[in-house]
Amino acid sequence: MKIKYHNWLQVAVMATMVVFSACSDDPTLYSDTDITGFKVRLGEGNYKQGTVKDGNIIEFKITPDLDLSKLNGVTCSFFISPYATVTPTPDVPQDFSKDVHYTVKAQDGTTTDWTVKWTYGGKVNDGEGFEYFFKKWEISVPTPSNKDKDGFGAVFGNYIIDTQFNFYDKYTGQKVDKTLNVTGIDASLCQLVNDDAGNLIGVVKNVGLYRWTTVEGAPQRLLM
């Protein structure tokens, strides 16, 4: 009887250990499949930071002047969830001019597919700030005011306008065939800025300030 009792006790203990083992294994496995801190390497010290979007999408911004072929054959770097793996690895060169896909596999076998996309960088929103400083890359056609140099202008509606009244699409930097109504202004315009409502303000040397509320409308003279 003593031996039989010992055998049953041993079986009970082993069964209990199996039950507890089965209950405790799964919770210790990580199921997270996140990608964070993403950036594309375009050269020494030149990185394009990515932003995580809804739908497991990572988006990084480029300037309109960037030759898309420069996005081909480059690597990236990013962080993933603890104990997870990723395919392909970030050190494998990719063509980021197209959508690039990564699969993150968690410790418990859960997988998530991620898509990396590029988009053009946006311009300053209307009414944010008082002057728009544009770089050479944002102007595709040289003009007397911006040839071989940076320049000053203002954002107005969907456009950037320089002091020579040249219009550019504020999202692409491409020149647009449009004219600003300058009725009543005889002197030279020396500066353009935005007010806090997004209107266009022109500084006319030795004359004063003018305000446009629309591109087509005539400017309103402001009291000095």
For residue 27, the model assigns a pLDDT of 67
As a whole number of angstroms, the distance between CA 24 and CA 177 comes to 69
pLDDT at 82: 93
pLDDT for the residue numbered 22: 43
Amino acid at 217: G
Check: CB of residue 39 under 8 Å from CB of residue 77.
yes
Residue 130 pLDDT: 36
Q: Classify burial at 210, counting beta carbons within 10 Å of its beta carbon; exposed 0-12, middle 13-18, buried 19 or more.
A: buried
Q: How far apart are CA 37 and CA 60, in angstroms?
A: 11
Q: How far is CA 173 from the centre of its chain?
A: 17
Place of tokens 């003593």: 2
pTM over 0.95: no
DSSP the chain: -HHHHHHHHHHHHHHHHHHHHHHHHGGGS-----EEEEEEEEETTEEEEEEEETTTEEEEEE-TTS-GGGGEEE-EEEEE-TT-EEES-TTS-EETTS-EEEEEE-TTS-EEEEEEEEEEPP-PPTTSSS-EEE-GGG-SS--TTTTTS-EEEEEETTEEEETT--EEETTT--EE------TT--S-EEEEEE-TTS-EEEEETTTEEEEESSSSSPPEEEP-
Which pLDDT value is given to residue 152? 56
pLDDT of residue 117: 95
Per-residue pLDDT of the chain (224 residues; tens, 9 = 90+): 444 444 434 434 344 444 444 443 556 899 999 998 899 998 777 788 899 999 999 999 887 667 888 899 999 999 999 999 999 999 999 999 999 999 999 999 999 999 999 987 655 454 443 334 444 433 333 333 444 444 556 778 778 887 777 888 776 777 888 888 888 877 676 677 777 677 888 877 777 788 888 888 888 888 65
